[in-house]
Structure 1
Amino acid sequence: MTNAALHTSTTCSLLSSSHLYLHLNPFSLSPSTYPSEKESEPKSLQIQTRWSKMPRDYKLISEITNHTRNWTVKIKVNEKSARRQSQNSSKTYQRLTLSDCKGNRVQATIFDDDINILKNTLSPLKDYYISNAHVRTIEPRFRYVENNYQWIINNHSRIEEITGEEENIKEESYSFISFNNLNDYINSTAQIGISLSTRGSTTITINPEIPEAISLQTWSHEHNDVLNELREKITHIPMPNASTSTTININEVLESTEMNIVHCIKASVLITDLQQNFWYMGCSLCKKRTSEEYEKEISCPCSTKKATAQPRSLIKANLSDSTGTMLATLFGEQAEKIMSCTSIDLMQFSIKEHMDEIENLVNQCNGKEFIFRLKSHQYIYEANTDQRFNVISVNEIPPKS
């Protein structure tokens, strides 16, 4: 390859025997290092070997900002999520949580085609050197670790797995709590080793290489008969019937500052925004948004099973009683109950722009009373914090005896 030909190439990616992708910038090579036409693969291997012996002068995660240049950090991959679909665009992304030897952590994200390119590297619980990922500030509402920056990793980032006798970064330590003592930690903010609810950034690691997990696996093998007996029993607990639950008024709900608490109220419905989108297209399995058309097969990271694009109701409504009014969001079956129609109906009325049909359904719904079970959560945007409510069940008011 001539020097001129090398200059016309913008990038050169190499796949090593450890499935690691490295980025070479041809303009940073001196003329003496340009490979000749007679030297192709052997020269590439020499370049790779020379890089693998680079000096280990690395920084800590806390020292990296969007103004830091030519940096290298030694990290451990703590968490690596599956590929996810963005709710607001056609982009796909994969989240990682990285830590260094001092316990500093940073969020990292890989987008679109780079997910496949880097799928065989950055494995959970392994150590790597990372150089020159793109560093951006991160909005507080998207932040789930104590760091004002996030890293965008792509095929231009330099990544090298740490192998051999080099000192590894200490793994995160956990303080596990038994189920017998779980009640003592209700509403606690401490990490208790098991999560009873999940969010978009939650990652589940299967069979982690930690003593507690190995001990549990050994126990399960020794007590397989006990586990089989438990599988044959009922393994679910029905949700309490909202119609028999004690209700509180809306003013009490709005005054409550506790998040993720389920409230039960009796209220009437009032839908005033007829311009809202009464539905969205989602995965038939996990209900996440998709840009695919109705009934088209989709590849969703939620499952290996075939999924299709299906409409799902999404309605914002005012709930009112004698003490006040609150805005709540209803999804799927709960929205269909108050509207007395299906999600497919709402999709068809909206697509055909039959606003008279939508308006007729809304008029029939407005003023009706139901018993709602709803859950509060915080929504943080820039410097503002809002309290929002999602309806998790809707019940008819039982007739008076």
Structure 2
Amino acid sequence: MNQEQSIVILTLWNNVAESEGGVIDENDEDFPIIRASGLAVSPHYGGSLGSTLSTVILVNPQIPEAENLKNWRQKNLKLITEAVSAKDHFTHSDSFLDVPTNKICAIADVVADNRVDKFLVRVQAMVTDPDQKFFYMSCEKCFSGVDADFDYPYTCTSCKEFTHAKPREKILFSIFDGSGSLDVTAFGKHSTELTGMSASTCMELYNEGAPFPLESINQSLSGQHYIMKIRKMERYMGDSMHHQYVVLNMLLHKAMDNLGCSTAITDATLSVSKELFPPGT
């Protein structure tokens, strides 16, 4: 919450969730002050933040800005507590919350069930294809793919808008649980949440012929469990039909145990409630 009483959601992923997130959890009742940089911005909940591989977080840093926030926090402690408890920041619609968490499916059931096209799964993830580009060129307005060079001006055939070709994150990776595995695709912020890399960075690596840091990414993913909402789609190649799977939303599973932690980000003078699911979802 900033001094205008606006709340922003902060999601911590992978190693940051384990390390700095653990420190924040230990001090959550005191609404600790944090300083964060290298965050990704998401439109969810009317605007939210998430960690990346380049995120740096300091908890209760000894800097003048933190002292100012501590004074403000002390004077407005009741207001902050009431705002976090009210959970009004969850009034923004989010399709991920449409599916109750008790409806988690095994991957084997996802493969076998053709009655519905959306599933909630609890899985681990691994990137197995090192030859992919990890981005694609797209319309900067509707994200439809286009075979064009960076910044090429054109009229999009999908949205009919005049636009420029821009890189967008895309990753093919494997998810697995005790029942089986699937190859799924994630786009945009969900790809960034897994790799910690923007589309521009991926494009630069590809253009330079530099190797993608697959080993470090898989090391970061190792042992992590995610709740993912995925869509099952039919695709035809000639007379043959096969299924493709796309990530609609995802959440680090450990974060579900950390509801109700309120923190503050001094870079934006924000007090952030690190909550991802409202009660009953």
Provide the TM-score with structure 1 as the length reference: 0.38
Aligned pair partner of 1:331 in 174, 182, 187: 187
Q: Distance in 2 between matches of 1:335 and 1:361?
A: 12
Residue 268 of structure 1 deviates from its aligned partner by: 0.5
SS in 2 for 1:298: strand
**Matches of 1:303 and 1:383 in 2, distance apart?**
29
Question: Where do 1:99-248 residues align within 5 Å?
Answer: 237-241=93-97, 245-246=101-102, 247-248=104-105
In the other structure, the counterpart of 1:371 is 227
- Cα distance between partner residues in 2 of 1:356 and 1:390: 22
Cα distance change, pair 347–358 in 1 and its aligned pair in 2 (3 A): farther
Match of 1:277 in 2: 133
Once residues 214 and 126 of structure 2 are traced to their aligned partners in structure 1, the CA distance between those partners, rounded to angstroms, is 14
Which position in structure 2 is the counterpart of 1:109? none
Q: How many residues align?
A: 165
Residues of 2 paired with 1:385 and 1:291: CA distance?
25
Q: Is the 8 A contact 1:274 1:359 kept in 2?
A: no
The yes-or-no answer on 1:294 pairing with 2:150 is: yes
**Contact 1:281-1:294 at 8 Å conserved across structures:** yes
* Residue 280 to residue 356, structure 1, CA distance change in 2 (3 Å): closer
1:265 aligns with 2:121: yes
SS at match of 2:257: coil
- CA shift in 2, pair 1:263/1:395, >3 Å: same
**Higher helix residue share:** 2
Q: Which amino acid aligns with 1:254?
A: V
User: 1:70-85 alignment to 2 at 5 Å?
Assistant: none
The whole-number CA distance in structure 2 between the counterparts of 1:377 and 1:265 is 16
**1:310 aligned residue:** 166
Runs of 5+ in structure 1 lacking a partner? 1-235
CA deviations 1:191-246 (Å, max 9, x no partner) are: xxxxxxxxxxxxxxxxxxxxxxxxxxxxxxxxxxxxxxxxxxxxx84424379623
Asked if 1:255 is matched to 2:107, the reply is no
User: Aligned partners of 2:251 and 2:235: how far apart in 1?
Assistant: 27
* Structure 1 residue 305: Cα displacement: 4.6
Distance 1:240 1:361 in 2: 25
Q: Choose 1 or 2 for highest CA Rg.
A: 1
User: Offset at 1:373?
Assistant: 0.4
Matched residue type, 1:343:
A
Q: Gapped runs of 5+ residues in structure 2? A: 1-91, 259-281
- Cα distance 1:363–1:240, how it changes in 2: closer, same or farther (>3 A)? closer
Quickly say closer, same or farther: Cα 1:305–1:238, change in 2 above 3 A: same
Q: Normalized per residue, which structure has more strand?
A: 2
The question of whether the paired residues in 1 share the 8 Å contact of 2:125 and 2:174 is answered with yes
Q: CA 1:255–1:356 in structure 2 vs 1: closer, same or farther (change >3 Å)?
A: closer
2:205 paired residue among 334, 346, 349: 349
Which is bigger in relative contact order (C-alpha 8 A, separation at least 6)?
Answer: 2
1:259-287 CA-partner distances (Å, limit 9, x unpaired): 5x210011000111101221111110111
2:127 and 2:214 in contact (8 A); partners too:
no
Note if 1:391 corresponds to 2:247.
yes
**Aligned-partner Cα distance in 1 for 2:251–2:164:** 29
8 Å CA contact 1:285–1:307 kept in 2: the answer is: yes
CA positional deviation for 1:359: 4.2
Alignment CA distance shift 1:384-1:238 (3 Å):
same
- Residue 308 of structure 1 aligns with an amino acid whose one-letter code is H
CA drift at 1:320: 0.6
Cα deviation, 1:105-155, whole Å, max 9, x if unaligned, reads: xxxxxxxxxxxxxxxxxxxxxxxxxxxxxxxxxxxxxxxxxxxxxxxxxxx
Q: d(CA) in 2 for partners of 1:357 and 1:271?
A: 11
